[in-house]
């Protein structure tokens, strides 16, 4: 897995149950996603230059432990599968002080033509980078 996010739980991210609200888990996982995509070549420049992008079509998040204000967080990610038009990947969020796994989120994202607004094939170089990352992961 590669590190894709590092941050902190802010007091404004706490809900009435006194832990980080689920919307912030999703937000932090989303930031991690863009770092993971960048690692395989789906950068901001690639998106703008090629009128391509990625859209999430499935997300399964599992909450395992609470995060509270002041906790330092780290997200590590890995590619699980790169198909013709989709990438399936996993994020794991940890308390960086204790090492405790707080949540995981498994997603499927589809490569899209931003003009036609429909799915399109992943370029070979991006698919190859995904495969290299998968081979490097334990």
Rounded distance between C-alpha atoms, residue 121 and residue 3, angstroms: 27
- Phi first, then psi: give them for residue 112, nearest 5 degrees: -125, 150
Low-confidence ranges of the chain (pLDDT < 70): 137-138
Selection from 20, 137, 22 nearest residue 89 by Cα: 137
4 close to 75: Cβ distance less than 8 angstroms: yes
pLDDT of residue 39: 97
The model scores a pTM over 0.85:
yes
pLDDT digits (tens, 9 = 90+) for 16-26: 999 999 999 99
pLDDT of residue 136: 84
pLDDT digits (tens, 9 = 90+) for 106-122: 999 999 999 999 999 99
Paired with 93 in beta bridges are: 75, 103
Give the chain's length.
Answer: 138
pLDDT of residue 137: 63
Answer whether CATH 3.10.129.10 is correct for domain 2-136: yes
């Amino acid at each position: 897995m590669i590190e894709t996010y590092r941050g902190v739980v802010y007091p404004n991210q706490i809900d009435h149950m006194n832990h980080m609200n689920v919307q912030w888990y999703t937000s932090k996982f989303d930031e991690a996603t863009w770092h993971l995509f960048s690692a395989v070549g789906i950068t901001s420049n690639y998106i703008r230059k090629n009128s391509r992008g990625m859209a999430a079509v499935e997300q399964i998040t599992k909450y395992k432990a609470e995060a509270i204000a002041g906790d330092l967080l780290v997200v590590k990610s890995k590619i699980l599968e790169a198909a013709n038009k989709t990438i399936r990947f996993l994020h794991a969020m940890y308390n960086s002080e204790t090492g405790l796994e707080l949540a995981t989120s498994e997603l499927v994202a589809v490569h899209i033509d931003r003009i036609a607004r429909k799915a399109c094939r992943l370029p070979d170089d991006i698919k190859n980078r995904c495969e290299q990352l998968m081979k490097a992961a334990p």
